[in-house]
């Protein structure tokens, strides 16, 4: 058990969905049904690309997000994480370039590194990846005679930054991919968890699967424990991914695939997603309210329209890895921002998750972090001789001013 997993610690560090709301009776009925009617099949190997009946469920989910995919153009995987692994394994030779967002999903970093990819990061702002910077980067790489193998992006409710790529940038990115014949890996675990605003078309929907490899998962809309994700990709790439999948684990758990199928057969999956959306919306609001109440005015944070995360930027003299040591003494945990970068940036940033804790715990957790941040800000004031006094939280002006808060200021630390 890690130190952040001690029971007395309120962990805002995970990325865990809430599964407590999943009805145990449904779970029991689904598993009993499989035991009664498909026991032999459930306990047997399955085809590498996945069961046809599971692919039908995937088609339903993708259709709900505006995409229509032929079952032959997808592979069922062991969670979405396996897609990142398989795509990297398929496309990357040591030294090849992958372009990712800055910050990027911390869980992708070890995967990219284990295949010795060179990861180049392109900044995001409140409208997602900066496509102008991406193009500059592509030009620069081209000048060096290097061609990135793919662009890795989480355009919707990004992990960790919580921001969403605007429609204009989506169209622009798809066009850049077409012009430069560049593959994109679109990671979309949270797309259905929207708490406000209009649904935007996925990159896959805009590009119709020519250059976009699409990663989906049941982890956030049903359960991460069943380890079920999928990739929809252009046929040439898919063939290679299939070979990689055979080598990795032959096939995805047949039992899990049948569970999803049985669950979808009941026809209530959208209702469950709706109930999650309602639950998480309230939790997001609680976290944003608590941030406004308990964080000192020197802090800034994103205001996500969906997903699971808020990204906080602190004054650049605070190192969040060190801050975590202090926070753990207050029995609260978060993810230090450094994990989302490969170049040492993000040291004054942190990721907070709002899906896994009750509203009471969220409020208390944010209060505790706000307390240590305020202490550090005040201490820094005395260390520099400025004797800065931090106002009591109750007197603080809400830092929720949209113009300020709805921005991801990702800047290099001046002192580094």
Partner 1 sequence: MSRVAVLKGGTSLERQVSLRSGARVEDALERLGHVVVSVDAGADLIERLREASPDVAFVALHGRDGEDGTVQELLEILGIPYTGSPVLASALASDKVVTKHLMVDAGIPTPDFFAFNETAFKELGAADALPAMAERLDFPIVVKPARQGSALGIKFARTPADVPAALLAAFSYDGKVLLERHVHGRDLAVSILDREEGPVTLPIVEAVPLEEDFFDFEARYEIGRTTFECPAALPDETAARAAEIALAVYRLLGCSGFARVDLMYDEQAGELFVLELNTIPGLTETSLLPQAAEAAGIDFDALVGRILQHAFERRAAAAG
Give me the residues that bind partner 1 (CB under 8 A), please: 2-3, 6, 317-319, 322-323, 325-326, 328, 376, 378-380, 382-385, 415
Of the two residues 358 and 382, which places its CB atom closer to partner 1 in the complex?
382
**306 beta partners:** 194
Helix (H) or strand (E) holding 232: strand 229-232
Q: How far is the CB of 380 from partner 1 (least distance, A)?
A: 5
DSSP 251: S
Q: Which two tokens stand for residue 70?
A: 């032929």
Structure tokens at 46: 């399955």
Give me the residues paired with residue 150 across strands.
Answer: 98, 183
Cβ(202)–Cβ(165) under 8 Å? no
Nearest CB to partner 1, comparing residues 344 and 409: 344
Nearest distance in Å: CB 140, partner 1: 26
Task: DSSP for 237-259, please give it.
Answer: HHHHHHHHHHHHHSS--HHHHHH
Least distance in angstroms from the C-beta of 9 to partner 1: 10
Residue 11 CB, shortest distance to partner 1, in Å, is 14
Kindly tell me the burial class for residue 159, based on how many C-beta atoms sit within 10 Å of its own C-beta (0-12, 13-18, 19 or more): buried
Between 251 and 323, name the residue whose CB sits nearer to partner 1. Answer: 323
Closer by beta carbon to partner 1, 36 or else 416: 416
Nearer to partner 1, 330 or 406 (CB): 330
Of 208, 207, 131, 136, nearest to 168 (Cα)?
A: 131
Give the residue with the Cβ less far from partner 1, 347 or 367: 347
**Least distance (Å) from partner 1 to the CB of residue 199?**
42
Query: Are the C-beta atoms of 260 and 252 separated by less than 8 Å?
Result: no
Instruction: Mention every residue, 6+ apart, whose C-beta is less than 8 A from residue 354.
Output: 12, 280, 283, 284, 286, 287, 308, 309, 310, 362
Min separation Cβ 386 and partner 1, Å? 8
């Amino acid at each position: 058990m890690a130190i952040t997993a001690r029971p007395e610690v309120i962990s805002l560090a995970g990325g865990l969905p809430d599964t407590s709301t999943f009805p145990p009776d449904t779970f029991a009925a689904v598993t009993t049904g499989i035991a009664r009617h498909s026991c032999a099949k459930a306990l047997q190997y399955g085809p590498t690309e996945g069961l046809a009946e599971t692919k039908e469920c995937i088609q339903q989910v993708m259709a709900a997000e505006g995409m229509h995919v032929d079952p032959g153009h997808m592979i069922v995987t062991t969670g979405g994480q396996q897609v990142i692994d398989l795509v990297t394994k398929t496309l990357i030779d040591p030294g090849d370039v992958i372009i990712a967002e800055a910050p990027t999903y911390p869980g992708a970093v070890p995967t990219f590194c284990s295949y010795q990819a060179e990861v180049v990061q392109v900044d995001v702002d409140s409208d997602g990846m900066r496509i102008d910077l991406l193009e500059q980067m592509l030009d620069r790489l081209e000048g060096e005679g290097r061609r990135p193998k793919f662009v890795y992006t989480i355009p919707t409710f990004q992990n960790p930054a919580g921001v969403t790529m605007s429609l204009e940038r989506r169209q622009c990115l798809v066009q850049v991919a077409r012009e430069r014949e560049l593959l994109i890996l679109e990671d979309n675990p949270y797309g259905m968890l929207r708490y406000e605003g209009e649904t935007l078309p996925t990159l896959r929907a805009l590009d119709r699967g020519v250059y976009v490899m699409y990663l989906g998962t049941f982890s956030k809309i049903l359960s991460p424990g069943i380890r079920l994700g999928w990739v929809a990709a252009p046929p040439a790439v898919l063939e290679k991914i299939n070979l990689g999948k055979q080598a990795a684990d032959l096939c995805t758990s047949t039992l899990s695939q049948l569970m999803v199928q049985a669950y979808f057969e009941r026809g209530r999956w959208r209702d469950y997603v709706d109930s999650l959306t309602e639950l998480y919306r309230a939790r997001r609001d609680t976290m944003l309210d608590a941030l406004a109440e308990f964080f000192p005015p020197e802090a800034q944070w994103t205001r996500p329209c969906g997903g699971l995360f808020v990204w906080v930027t602190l004054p650049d003299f605070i190192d969040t890895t060190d801050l975590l040591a202090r926070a753990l003494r207050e029995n609260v945990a978060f993810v230090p921002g450094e994990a989302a970068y490969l170049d040492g940036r993000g040291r004054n940033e942190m990721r907070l998750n709002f899906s896994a804790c009750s509203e009471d715990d969220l409020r208390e957790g944010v209060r505790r972090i706000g307390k240590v941040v305020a202490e550090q800000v005040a201490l820094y004031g005395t260390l520099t001789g400025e004797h800065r006094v931090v106002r009591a939280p109750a007197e603080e002006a809400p830092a929720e001013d949209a113009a300020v808060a709805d921005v991801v200021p990702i800047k290099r630390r001046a002192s580094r």
